[in-house]
Structure 1
């Protein structure tokens, strides 16, 4: 795997409100936060750009609503902000895709000459997947670090219920099979980033 010198890491919605959700809804991938932290460190240490995305929910009871503690980034993310050798961007959004946030992610990437992005964050099958799909549609080379994401069990139509692991596998198959992204591991990405850093 080759990581370009200016590949951007997009860290999607790593916010405290998801820890609150995890107290009542089963989630998967307990090592996701460690993997996200490893990716941020690798990107910052090699001078590559990092994009921190925060979801500002418009739902009044959401743990991600502005003004509520759950809206804040998790502490390990907040502590790393501003420490990188490379460019950094902070985006807020109210929908799933980071490409529909403020400021304009696509415009920033294009202005910076960035053609490759790596995605990590929460939730696997929601904002992380939507950002990856849109990135693929916009022509970016998208790396989706599956083990640096997590999600929750979910109810759907017709009484269907999928576990967090089932949803994550569905995301991986959809992104890979649909040519939206290359689904990879944190170790693969970090190794390639450091080797090419």
Structure 2
């Protein structure tokens, strides 16, 4: 796997509010946070750009709403912000895609000459997947760090209920099989990016 010298790591919504399991329900992939941290460390250590995305929910009861502590980045992310030698962007959004946030992600990537992005963060099937899909639609070479994401059990139409692991796998199949992104592991990315 080739990782561009200026490939951007897009860290999506790694916020304290996702720790409130009474709100979200059961999750998968307990190792996701360690993998996200490892990716940030390698990206910062190699001078590659990192984008930190925060979801500012407009829903009054959301654990991710502005003014509530759950809106803050998890400690390990906050501690890493501003530590790299490469470019860094902080953006906020109120919808699923980081490409519809402020400031404009695509404009920032274009100005920096970035054509390859790596997507990690929360939730696998929501904001991480939507960002990856839109990145693919916009023509970026998208790598989706599957084990550096996680999600929660979810109920859909017709009483269908799926576990977090089933949902995450379905996202990976859709992204990879549909040609939106290449679904890869943290180990593969760390090895290819090389510190």
- TM, length-normalised to structure 1: 0.97
Taking the aligned partners of 1:40 and 1:61, their CA distance within structure 2 comes to 30
SS of the residue 2:107 aligns to: helix
The 1:22–1:152 alpha-carbon spacing in structure 2 relative to 1, beyond 3 Å, is: farther
RMSD: 0.9
Distance in 2 (alpha carbons) for counterparts of 1:167 and 1:42: 28
Cα offset for 1:157?
A: 0.5
Instruction: Assess, with a 3 A threshold, how the Cα gap between structure 1 residues 176 and 24 changes in structure 2: closer, same or farther.
Output: closer
In 1, Cα distance between equivalents of 2:125 and 2:142: 15
- How far apart are residue 22 of structure 1 and its match? 6.0
Q: How many residue pairs align between the two structures? A: 195
SS at match of 1:190: helix
* Shift >4 Å, 4+ stretches: none
Which whole-Å CA distance do the structure 2 matches of 1:77 and 1:158 have between them? 38
- Tell me, which stretches of 5 or more residues in structure 1 are unaligned? none
Question: Which residue in the other structure is 1:186 paired with?
Answer: 186
SS in 1 for 2:54: strand
- Other-structure match for 1:129: 129
Give the alignment of 1:1-197 within 5 angstroms.
1-21=1-21, 25-194=25-194
**TM-score, structure 2 length as denominator?**
0.98
Distance 1:22 1:41 in 2: 31
- Distance of 1:164 and 1:47 partners within structure 2: 34
Q: How far apart are 1:21 and its partner, in Å?
A: 2.9
The separation in 2 between residues aligned to 1:59 and 1:190, in whole angstroms, is 36
